[in-house]
């Protein structure tokens, strides 16, 4: 039978929009289905996305070769995407890792090895010099720094998604502003219900992030944990800008991986104010129902986690004392493999791209490219770490 589209991508977030852009250079007959960001978050009762923000850390320094490679490939395309779309989203301010050598050495050694493989330039900063180079940061005297000056900093995820969608549309992709609620393999084709319409396609890529399992989008759910995350915002004034204005993106390593803290430099937000943002990875709240995930996104996050982050922030950056503090919700979806999923489900016509594992924003353009290759060619090769990206499905 004739289909409406050759390929449909579900999810207008960072991975889905990137997949649509890349696929537009490989094929015709493509649709990208997904709603825009809601104007009133707390009054919205549909799906959400975690890119509703102004800053995400980007860097190639990583203890895992696959994740480092995904980041480097994406980062090397940022300027081209900016130039072609006319939308700026990348600030190359560098990224600093700091931590006690005795606790971080295994990760750091792996990250330095990966960096050499990727051709990244990482400067090691001795504990005696760290405070002089980065005076905004108050850490213990035994902390060593690892500074990636080039190919690192932060991206504006909202702007990146706008750029990807703009280029996808220029490449012939049909943008459909609707929420997909059902995907069905009809045998010879796939049917996607979005709003009050049904669209047909030869193949479908579900790139709905933490909401991939929360509608009937997949023949069988994938094995992911959708976890609550809270971010804290410090409102920055002129005095604080003089101290923090030139800081790089920063990751402070703790005794355990979940104790790591990430810090974004001061960034101006749509309300006209400038905020320094930080977050962690300690919360245990998870969601497996659409209603619960929606309620979380309509909240201000966890007050307990906000208070925890505030205590950490004042220990690391005492000059923030007295700044107003607010918080916001986010979610992260984790896979048991530690890698994103980019592969077909038990249906050869329905593929899935999800599983950011709390580190995928910087790599989203490359992950989107992998999703596009998957739809166009039907598989991923080992140069793209295809074997590691095979989706794990839940029990029937």
Domains of the chain, start order: 5-52+157-224+336-389 (3.50.50.60), 92-155+225-334 (3.30.9.10)
278: pLDDT strictly greater than 90: yes
Can you tell me the mean pLDDT for 199-227? 97
Check residue 102 and give its pLDDT: 65
CA dihedral 165, 168, 172, 175 (to 10 degrees): -30
Render pLDDT for 84-139 as a digit per residue (tens, 0 to 9). 999 999 999 999 999 987 655 688 999 999 999 999 999 999 999 999 999 999 99
For residue range 112-125, list pLDDT tens digits in order: 999 999 999 999 99
User: Is the confidence at residue 258, as pLDDT, over 70?
Assistant: no
List the structure tokens of 374.
């998957």
3-state secondary structure of 79: helix
DSSP conformation letters of 188-210 = SSEEEEETTEEEEEEEEEE--GG
pLDDT at residue number 260: 86
Q: Which residue has the tokens 């619960």?
A: 292
- At 347, is the pLDDT very low, low, confident or very high (cuts 50, 70, 90)? very high
pTM confidence score: 0.96
What's the farthest any 2 CA atoms get from each other in the chain? Answer: 70
With bands split at pLDDT 50, 70 and 90, how would you rate the model's confidence at 343? very high
For the chain, the average pLDDT equals 96
Which pLDDT score, from 0 to 100, does residue 217 have? 98
pLDDT at 129: 97
Q: What percent of the chain has pLDDT over 90?
A: 94
Average pLDDT of the residues in 255-276: 90
Give pLDDT, residue 203: 98
As to burial, measured by CB atoms within 10 angstroms (0-12 exposed, 13-18 middle, 19+ buried), residue 393 is: middle
Is residue 1 scored above 90 in pLDDT? no
């Amino acid at each position: 039978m004739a289909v409406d589209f050759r390929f449909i991508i579900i999810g207008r977030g960072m991975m889905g929009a990137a997949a649509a852009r890349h696929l537009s250079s490989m094929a015709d007959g493509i649709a990208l289905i997904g709603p825009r960001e809601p104007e009133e978050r707390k009054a919205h009762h549909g799906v959400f996305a975690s890119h509703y923000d102004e800053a995400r850390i980007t860097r190639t320094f990583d203890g895992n070769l696959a994740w480092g490679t995904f980041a480097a490939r994406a980062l090397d395309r940022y300027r081209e995407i900016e130039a072609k779309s006319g939308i700026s989203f990348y600030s190359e301010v560098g990224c600093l890792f700091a931590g006690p050598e005795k606790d971080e050495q295994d990760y750091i050694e792996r990250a330095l090895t990966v960096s050499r493989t990727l051709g990244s330039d990482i400067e090691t900063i001795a504990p005696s010099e760290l405070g002089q180079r980065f005076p905004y940061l108050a850490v213990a005297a035994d902390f060593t720094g690892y500074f990636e000056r080039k190919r690192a900093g932060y991206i504006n995820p909202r702007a990146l998604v706008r750029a990807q969608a703009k280029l996808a549309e220029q490449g012939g992709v049909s943008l459909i502003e609707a929420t997909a609620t059902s995907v069905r393999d009809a045998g010879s084709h796939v049917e996607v219900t979005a709003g009050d319409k049904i669209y047909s396609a030869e193949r479908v890529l579900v790139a709905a992030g933490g909401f991939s399992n929360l509608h009937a989008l997949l023949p069988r759910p994938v094995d992911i944990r959708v976890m609550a995350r809270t971010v804290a915002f410090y409102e920055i004034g002129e005095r604080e800008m003089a101290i923090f204005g030139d800081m790089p993106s920063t990751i402070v390593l703790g005794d355990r991986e979940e104790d790591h803290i990430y810090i974004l430099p001061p960034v101006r937000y749509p309300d006209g104010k400038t905020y320094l943002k930080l977050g962690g990875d300690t919360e245990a709240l998870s969601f497996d129902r659409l209603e619960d995930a929606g309620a979380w996104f309509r909240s201000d996050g966890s007050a307990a986690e906000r208070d925890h982050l505030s205590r950490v922030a004042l220990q690391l950056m005492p000059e923030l004392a007295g700044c107003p503090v607010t918080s916001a919700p986010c979610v992260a979806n984790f896979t048991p493999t530690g890698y994103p999923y980019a592969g077909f489900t038990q249906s050869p016509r329905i593929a899935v791209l999800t599983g950011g594992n709390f580190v995928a924003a910087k790599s989203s353009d490359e992950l989107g490219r992998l999703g596009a290759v998957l739809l166009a060619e039907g598989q991923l090769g080992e140069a793209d770490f295809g074997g590691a990206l095979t989706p794990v499905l839940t029990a029937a």
